[in-house]
Amino acid sequence: MKIKGISPNVITYTTLIRGMCTLGQQKEAQQMLTEMLRNNITPDIQTYNMLIDMYCKDGKVGQARDIFVHMTERGFVPNIITYNALLDGYCLRCEMDEAKKLMDLMVENGCKPNVVTYSSLINGYCKSKKIDKALGLLQEIHFNGLAPDVITYNTLIDALCKDNQLKLAHQYFKEMEAHGLKPNVITWNSFLDGMCRNAQIDKAVATVKEMENTGMVPDIVTYCTLMDGLCEANRLSEAIHIFSFLTAKGLHDVRAYTIIIKGFCKEGLLAKADELLKNMEDNKCFPNECTFNTIIRGFIDGKDAKRALELVSLMRNKEFAADNHTISSLVSLLTDPNIGDADKDLLKKFFEN
């Protein structure tokens, strides 16, 4: 373009910056902004918004704030998209005091918060375990004549379920339906997770059937949540039945394999756990760090130090690392009276190396 004597304009630069932001090329996007300014091409509000959003999504709120300050110093007036992007960045990092200050600033500057603003704040308060404040914001949404969306309700319902407030979560489930909003699979999965956390496994099983009866198609998260709950409730055979259903459909998911491996380990069925680990790769489903740590701890609990160390070596070859829980469990075997001298020697050599 430059070779042909055509000078880039603000649209050219903004298009390039958009592509860089989409690809997460932060350094290049920042350099492009610098080049614009050096060539006396004034960025528009859209350019700044994209950069702020990019940094916030990557957790770099400080850089996003710098862009925000830079644009205001150059005479740009932030719009609702600007404020929402930066506010969401604060909320994702649970910096709620800064988020609240920013919301106060936007109101002071005549920019009215919308449902996206409130949803970000609600998410931030839920992540910060301040559910009462999140619920208060929902009432504020209604008071200001705004309509909460499915994302707003899903955020609250998930937080309430994780806080074991299933009855209150169900009230908001009914409220969203009353407002004409249809719960989606994410909504249902939150309830399912809450039930499994509270050992309400029969209700969880019934909930999946209810989903299917209402035309809601369960996803892999649904099935994995239920399988994990069944394994924790010592109902491994039912979990295996669901797992077999998934694999028969060609769904080979690392989370599903890891859950069943964990279930086998919990029941002391270490040979089956080992066999399933090998079957994973045969089905082009490759174990991750969680899978390895899970099965290694299974062999540690089964007092099989040799196989546990073999698996540690295998995971290292695949560039995974044993976590602190696994390492401390291996250390405990050194003083375990049920571990033979030969295995203790293997452990000592492992830690020496």
54-66 pLDDT per residue, tens:
889 889 999 999 9
Q: Which contiguous run of DSSP H or E holds residue 141?
A: helix 131-143
Is the pLDDT confidence value at 275 over 90? yes
As its CATH architecture, domain 1-93 has: Alpha Horseshoe (1.25)
Rounded Cα distance between 9 and 30, Å, is 17
The confidence score (pLDDT) of residue 2 equals: 47
Give me the percent of the chain exceeding a pLDDT of 90.
76
The confidence score (pLDDT) of residue 8 equals: 65
The DSSP annotation for 80-126 comes to: HHHHHHHHHHHHHTT-HHHHHHHHHHHHHTT----HHHHHHHHHHHH
- The average pLDDT across 146-173 equals 96
Rounded Cα distance between 141 and 156, Å, is 13
Rounded Cα distance between 207 and 218, Å, is 10
For CA atoms 223, 226, 229, 235, the dihedral sign is negative
The confidence score (pLDDT) of residue 338 equals: 87
Residue 11 corresponds to which tokens in the numbers above? 């649209």
Split at pLDDT 50, 70, 90, the class of 34 is: confident
Rounded Cα distance between 270 and 276, Å, is 10
Is the pLDDT confidence value at 4 over 60? no
Better-scored residue on pLDDT, 19 or 146: 146
Report helix angle 220-232 to 254-266, nearest 10. Answer: 10
Is the pLDDT confidence value at 31 over 80? no
Query: In Å, what is the CA distance from 310 to each residue of 181, 269, 314, 321?
Result: 52, 18, 6, 13
Is the pLDDT confidence value at 77 over 80? yes
Split at pLDDT 50, 70, 90, the class of 5 is: very low
Average pLDDT score over the chain: 91
Is the pLDDT confidence value at 347 over 60? yes
Is the pLDDT confidence value at 3 over 50? no
- The average pLDDT across 90-103 equals 96
- The average pLDDT across 278-306 equals 95
Is the pLDDT confidence value at 19 over 80? no
Is the pLDDT confidence value at 7 over 70? no
The rounded Cα 339 to chain-centroid distance in angstroms is 39
Residue 104 corresponds to which tokens in the numbers above? 């106060």
Residues sharing a CB contact under 8 Å with residue 88, sequence separation 6 or more, in sequence order: 56, 120, 123
Residues sharing a CB contact under 8 Å with residue 181, sequence separation 6 or more, in sequence order: 148, 149, 150, 153
Rounded Cα distance between 92 and 60, Å, is 10
- The average pLDDT across 25-48 equals 76
The confidence score (pLDDT) of residue 1 equals: 42
The DSSP annotation for 189-207 comes to: HHHHHHHHHTT-HHHHHHH
For CA atoms 292, 164, 189, 86, the dihedral sign is negative
Contact 189, 228 (CB under 8 A): no
- The average pLDDT across 230-242 equals 97
The confidence score (pLDDT) of residue 329 equals: 93
The confidence score (pLDDT) of residue 212 equals: 87
- The average pLDDT across 185-192 equals 97
Rounded Cα distance between 279 and 63, Å, is 46
* Residue 244: strand, helix, or coil: helix
Give me the percent of the chain exceeding a pLDDT of 70.
96
Phi-psi region of 114 (alpha: psi -120 to 50; beta: other; left: phi over 0): beta
Give the model confidence (pLDDT) of 104-129 as tens digits: 999 999 999 999 999 999 999 999 99
Quote the DSSP letter at residue 216: P
- The average pLDDT across 179-194 equals 96
Contact 12, 36 (CB under 8 A): no
Rounded Cα distance between 60 and 21, Å, is 13
Which range is least confidently modeled, 13-22, 219-228, 339-348? 13-22
- The average pLDDT across 43-72 equals 90
